[in-house]
Amino acid sequence: MGQARSHVFAPLGDLGRAEAVTARLTDAISMGLLGDGEQLPSEAELAGQFGVATVTVREALVALRQQGLVATRRGRGGGSFVITPDQGAPASWQQRLRAVSLSELRDIGDHYLAVAGAAARLAAERSSPEDVERLWLATEDLRNATGAATSNQRNATEAAMSNQGNATGAATSDQGSPGQARAERQFHLEVAAAAQSPRLTHQEIQLQGEQGGLLWLLPSHNGHAEHGAITEAIARQDGELARKLTEEHILEAVDRLVDMHLNLL
């Protein structure tokens, strides 16, 4: 009774947060972004990253333990460790991509287009040489990450697509490495920051996490060149070109997801 009563008066912001944290970590584990045996950050660190209370993280970890996705060891060298479920990571992200509807994908894509496109236009107007320098660094991150996708991931993807049709986008798509997805996210985050807009930056981060981070699951093979062209347009203060290139870059990412979704049906 005492506990139930205190729950009634729990801060409103914390309601549903444990579920949200659980869902986020479940997605990351099922997509293979968090590998088997990988140690999770400490409860306090997770709380900081998610912006929730430590008790909320603790609650989420309890749920993950019950689902068998996390094991906790006490003592020296202890902590919470990821247990990848038996069906393997690739099947899980495919299940997720199969489950999402085309109308949802379209809508997320449209929203992302509006946010990232506007950010690119404003970044071209407002970037100082220092901002442009940071955008070039972020552009290079993708070159360094490309090719880091392991052959395992490629094989898994190819196997899953053995019944592929003539959808050309999907036929040339590989699941990217976590490094590629991170480089994609970081680049667009830097563009939003260069736009000098906290709100667009915040939306950028939120959209990147939609559907468990589905958006940059299938990065472009030309991602480095595309980021380079966007950075070049921003450096030349050509806002319309920066916006157009960003929109194309995102439309193609969404098209790859749509093609892959159809192939998985």
Partner 1 sequence: MGSHAGDEVVEQVAAIVEDVFDRLKPVLVAVESLLVEVAEPRAEDLEHIRPRVVDALGGLVIGAGYVAAPHVLTDQEYGFEWWTATSAEPEQLFISLEPGSANFLDYTRQSWFTVSRDTGRRHVNGPYVDYLCTDEYTLTFTVPAQRNGAFAGVVGADVFVREFEHVLQPKLRSLGSRAALVNAQGRVIVSNSAKSPTGSLMRDADVPAWWNAGAQARAGVRRCGDAPIVLVTP
Residues lying near partner 1 in the complex (CB under 8 A): 28, 33-34, 41, 44-49, 125-126, 128-130, 134, 137, 178, 181-182, 186, 189, 192-193, 196-198, 201-202, 205
Question: What minimum distance in Å lies between the beta carbon of 215 and partner 1?
Answer: 14
DSSP readout, 20-60? Answer: HHHHHHHHHHHTTSS-TTPBPPPHHHHHHHHTS-HHHHHHH
Q: Decide whether 178 or 228 has the Cβ nearer to partner 1.
A: 178
Q: Is-contact 93 30, C-beta < 8 A?
A: yes
Question: What gap in Å lies between CA 91 and CA 184, rounded to an integer?
Answer: 23
Least distance in angstroms from the C-beta of 166 to partner 1: 34
**Closest approach of Cβ 162 to partner 1, in Å?**
29
* Cβ closest to partner 1, residue 123 vs residue 254: 123
Q: How far is CA 103 from the centre of its chain?
A: 19
Question: Which residue lies nearer to partner 1 by CB, 106 or 236?
Answer: 236
Least gap, CB of 98 to partner 1 (angstroms): 23
Instruction: Calculate ∠ Cα 263-147-105, nearest 5°.
Output: 35
Type of residue found at 71: A
Angstrom distance (rounded) from CA 27 to CA 253: 20
Question: Which residue, 29 or 170, is less far from partner 1 as judged by CB?
Answer: 29
Based on CB atoms, which residue is closest to partner 1, 124 or 258?
Answer: 124
Query: How far apart are the C-alpha atoms of 265 and 128, rounded to whole Å?
Result: 47
